[in-house]
Structure 1
Amino acid sequence: MRLNNINSGLIKILVGRNLPDVHYMKDLKARSFGDRCVHVYKTFVIHPIKRRLAKYYLSILRKCFDIKVIGITGSAGKTSTKEMLSSILSLKGETIYSYANIDPVYNIPTTILKCRPSTKYLVLEMGVEYPGEMDFYLWLAKPNIAVITNINPTHLTYFKSVDNVYKEKVKLALFMEENDRVVLNREDTYLKKTIKDTRGMVTYFGKGTNVYSDKYRIKRSGSIYTLHINGKRVAVNLPIIGRHFVNNSLAAAAVAYDLGISPTDIKKGLENFIPLEHRMNIIELENNRVIIDDTYNNNPKAARETLKSFNETSKVYKNYKKGIVFGDMLELGEDSEKYHQEIGRVISGMDIGFIICVGKESNIIIEIVKKNNNFVKTYGAKDKNEAYLLLKSLLSENTLVLLKGSRSIGLDDVVEKLSQ
């Protein structure tokens, strides 16, 4: 059933203003008749009612109780930034925030309806997968503070180019008014120019700003660094490894400081942050076998950051053999080959003993590594089951292995099997 076969205007009235067409009949062909009926009922009855209830309920909370709404978007780091910020804000008042990383089209209304009159902060993750989604979020829940973590090549199957990714995500900043705040990553090439176009008050974080980090080092339990905020500094023990997570903490710190929270409380909130599953989690097995689980998501920028962090972490595990299990990076459209070649060149320069590539696209990485580094043993696996068997045979005593992939590749299942 295609949208152009029915009244598009009527559908938009029923389902929700500015919601991209793809959500109306999403995955309908793959469903049984019974599932189709349930899907149509939810799409045209349950969700539209829920969205409008959430929208008007939030309007009441704003007018009567002065709730602060923070919207977070970006190509990577949204969920971790949200979790870090919520950990900080919860020290100062009741904080409601998006659960996990469920499709925001459904998650945002549910999150709003969890708020109470006593709720002080509402933190919403506004991830976009299709053109037009940000318009819907802004209709539903316009933030007081907009946060954009970065702009990278993601969901190119739908956006076609990184420029289009930027155009969609930057709507969050452009929608802000004079009394609103916008928090941006100064180190991101795309976001440097956003300050000219938004009416909101802009706070940048990263190198060359008033919110930055230095003296970074890594240990088995996480990252240690000094956080600088407007001339003040505090030492932070962040319970997760990786410079990219430190960057996420800068975004959270910038928002918190704009809300009047002291650096001391920001430090406390960051150190109380509980890392999510499958994001650079170090799992130590018996016989000095160690796996680093980063199997939640995978895109070119995130992959490069993860590989960099793996290099740094390997210094903590001296004299360990090292290997990588790498799953396909998905939804890269026509640029998929180019980005897999880039990752292949990065891995070629690493001091590892083996790499297992999972999926069709990752065969490109094997070709690049074979060409550039004769010391790395390469293995191809068509799926997660083959990857598990290969890794099980290679994961000997005193071995450190990074698993990097998206959920749809299933490397999280490999981690679970190895951990049993």
Structure 2
Amino acid sequence: MIQLTLQEVAEATSGRLVLGDNGASASTVVRGESQTDSREVTAGNIFFARHGEETDGHLFAGKAVDLGAALLVVEREVDDRVPQIVVADATIALGALATEVVRRVREAGDLTIVGITGSNGKTTTKNLVAAMAERVGTTVASAKSFNNEVGGPLTMLRLEENTRTLVAEMGASAAGEIQRLTSMAPPQIGVVLTVGLAHAGGFGGINSTFEAKSEMVQDLPETAVAVLNRDDGYVGRMAELTRARVRWFGLHPEADVRATDIDADANGTRFTLHADGASLPVSFKVLGEHHVTNALASATVGLELGLTLSQVVEVLEGATRAARWRMEVMGGRDGITIINDAYNASPDSMSAGLKTLAQIKKPTGRTVAVLGAMSELGEYTIEEHLRIALLAVRLRISELVVVGAEARHLHISAINEGSWDGECVFFESRDDAFDYLESSLRPDDTVLVKSSNAAGLNLLGDRLGEAFA
């Protein structure tokens, strides 16, 4: 974080400064990272004691001080060993401090903010864009999938005086959340990838999802750039909602940055990248043809940041995986390939994963889909799980292994299709599924492990990857 005094932090958060017993004064400077999880605190950090869904951060303030926290932002006084700033709401204070830090860095330097949203592909695109931005100068990008009212500000607070680019994932599970993040860090480049049924339970349907995702571009000024997916009809409509210059990406022939000659296999995807009248071949090692969309979005941003097309291709070809637990290729023993794609799942990404599995099947092996539940679909939950089961049957996936009670509809629907005889099995627990797979997988099998994060199948994928390493 940039250098701020305790008094300046108090003013930014509209809080009351309470000096501790360590001799600090209002002019004492803090510049450590901010944390909301006491387990992540290191010396010099600021700890925000939030009321979480399951616990109260104030209960862990003492632990944060023990680990070296230099300042506590609290809703009630808790520990007088270090200074405290007492605020009405610690989460709101976190956002307010992030807003002030972004403002100061923008005014003092040459900061470009890239905001990325979409129902699928945010983290993959963010990682690729960050790699592009590093070619320009010092870059701060969202860690993990830090894209909500907590993760977003924590990322923004990592800005330093010399930061050239902030690459911020901006997710939402309800209307207004993206607008809140863009008000903290107004993008000069706003990216919208897709509009799908991810988090549909919170939004209330696809049209509400469209309205929420369009918050990314609605407030962009005329000097900004809206980077939009030409292949997604809902994203395409956003061009009418923004004052910004629109830059299209996609497979559509009218896209400004597009791909042709796509050829995907177990080693990645090859395609020809076209932009601004030039074309270059790309060997993209990230598994799954659907990730070409993310590559095109990041390429568009890279070009807007000033990279040449050759530099953009270098970055794309240097990427070895989308992100941790996203189409991550593991295994290898006896020709068995484990694809761990279980960090998150929506109907669109689940469909894309199954299609990739069918596409990269080895001639002498089987395809095995290990699937868990897709979360946050609301009224669409049963319908979408049934649809995925039907797709697995139609793609002639060799075996479907369904894990967890929340995903039982997948199992029932696959059986009801009548196309299989014992090729779909169900397990309540990850451990039971692992035991079955460890004993039943055959040489040259290709295995996709896919679920929402809440189902925890990413851990099953890791175990399988280790077992067949």
TM-score by length of 1: 0.88
Query: Matches of 2:234 and 2:465 in 1, distance apart?
Result: 40
**1:301 counterpart residue number:** 348
Q: Can you give the 5+ residue segments of structure 2 that lack an aligned partner in the other structure?
A: 1-12, 16-48, 64-73, 77-85
Aligned ranges for residues 351-366 of structure 1 at < 5 Å? 351-366=396-411
Query: Matches of 2:137 and 2:59 in 1, distance apart?
Result: 44
Contact 1:284 1:290 in 2 (8 A): yes
Query: Matches of 1:40 and 1:392 in 2, distance apart?
Result: 50
* Secondary structure of 1:283's aligned partner: strand
Most deviating of 176-185 and 396-405: 396-405
Describe the superposition over 1:221-268 as per-residue Cα deviations: whole angstroms up to 9, x where unpaired.
Answer: 322111111221111121211121111010011112223321101001
Greater C-alpha radius of gyration: 2
1:294 to partner: Cα distance: 0.7
Contact 2:101 2:159 in 1 (8 A): no
**1:123 counterpart residue number:** 167
Describe the superposition over 1:301-351 as per-residue Cα deviations: whole angstroms up to 9, x where unpaired.
Answer: 11111111111111xx22112211110111111111111111111111123
**1:343 counterpart residue number:** 388
**1:5 counterpart residue number:** none
Aligned ranges for residues 72-151 of structure 1 at < 5 Å? 72-151=116-195
Residue type of the alignment partner of 1:140: M
Contact 1:340 1:361 in 2 (8 A): no
* Secondary structure of 1:179's aligned partner: coil
Does residue 1:324 correspond to 2:369, yes or no? yes
Most deviating of 341-350 and 361-370: 361-370
**1:379 counterpart residue number:** 425
Does residue 1:400 correspond to 2:446, yes or no? yes
Does residue 1:184 correspond to 2:228, yes or no? yes
Match of 1:270 among 312, 316, 319: 316
CA 1:375–1:143 in 2, change beyond 3 Å: closer, same or farther? same
Most deviating of 178-187 and 367-376: 367-376
CA 1:282–1:67 in 2, change beyond 3 Å: closer, same or farther? same
* Secondary structure of 2:334's aligned partner: coil
Match of 1:256 among 294, 298, 302: 302
Percent same amino acid among aligned pairs?
Answer: 25
Query: Matches of 1:13 and 1:189 in 2, distance apart?
Result: 43
Residue type of the alignment partner of 2:411: I
Residue type of the alignment partner of 1:291: I
Q: Can you give the 5+ residue segments of structure 1 that lack an aligned partner in the other structure?
A: 1-11, 15-22
Residue type of the alignment partner of 1:258: E
Query: Matches of 1:241 and 1:328 in 2, distance apart?
Result: 22
1:31 to partner: Cα distance: 6.4
Describe the superposition over 1:170-211 as per-residue Cα deviations: whole angstroms up to 9, x where unpaired.
Answer: 011011111111011111121121111211111111113121
Give the paired residue count: 398
Contact 2:227 2:301 in 1 (8 A): yes
CA 1:36–1:381 in 2, change beyond 3 Å: closer, same or farther? farther
Residue type of the alignment partner of 2:385: H
**2:462 counterpart residue number:** 416
Q: RMSD in angstroms over aligned alpha carbons?
A: 2.5
Query: Matches of 1:32 and 1:241 in 2, distance apart?
Result: 40
Aligned ranges for residues 20-31 of structure 1 at < 5 Å? 25-28=51-54
1:48 to partner: Cα distance: 4.2
CA 1:33–1:105 in 2, change beyond 3 Å: closer, same or farther? closer
Query: Matches of 2:133 and 2:220 in 1, distance apart?
Result: 21
Query: Matches of 1:336 and 1:218 in 2, distance apart?
Result: 30
* Secondary structure of 2:363's aligned partner: coil
Query: Matches of 1:54 and 1:367 in 2, distance apart?
Result: 48
CA 1:31–1:121 in 2, change beyond 3 Å: closer, same or farther? closer
Query: Matches of 2:233 and 2:335 in 1, distance apart?
Result: 41
1:80 to partner: Cα distance: 0.4
Query: Matches of 1:155 and 1:13 in 2, distance apart?
Result: 33
Most deviating of 98-107 and 275-284: 98-107
1:129 to partner: Cα distance: 1.7
Query: Matches of 2:210 and 2:51 in 1, distance apart?
Result: 26
Aligned ranges for residues 229-240 of structure 1 at < 5 Å? 229-240=275-286
CA 1:274–1:108 in 2, change beyond 3 Å: closer, same or farther? farther
Residue type of the alignment partner of 2:392: I
Higher RCO, Cα 8 Å, sep 6+: 1
Contact 1:210 1:231 in 2 (8 A): no
* Secondary structure of 2:329's aligned partner: strand
**1:168 counterpart residue number:** 212
Query: Matches of 1:36 and 1:132 in 2, distance apart?
Result: 30
Contact 1:353 1:376 in 2 (8 A): no
Query: Matches of 1:294 and 1:94 in 2, distance apart?
Result: 30
Match of 1:59 among 99, 103, 124: 103
Most deviating of 386-395 and 227-236: 386-395
Query: Matches of 2:95 and 2:413 in 1, distance apart?
Result: 48
Describe the superposition over 1:108-138 as per-residue Cα deviations: whole angstroms up to 9, x where unpaired.
Answer: 2222232223221111000112332123212
* Secondary structure of 2:187's aligned partner: coil
Most deviating of 214-223 and 188-197: 214-223
Match of 2:238 among 194, 198, 212: 194
1:32 to partner: Cα distance: 10
Contact 1:74 1:151 in 2 (8 A): yes
Contact 2:273 2:282 in 1 (8 A): yes
Contact 2:189 2:225 in 1 (8 A): yes
Residue type of the alignment partner of 1:243: E
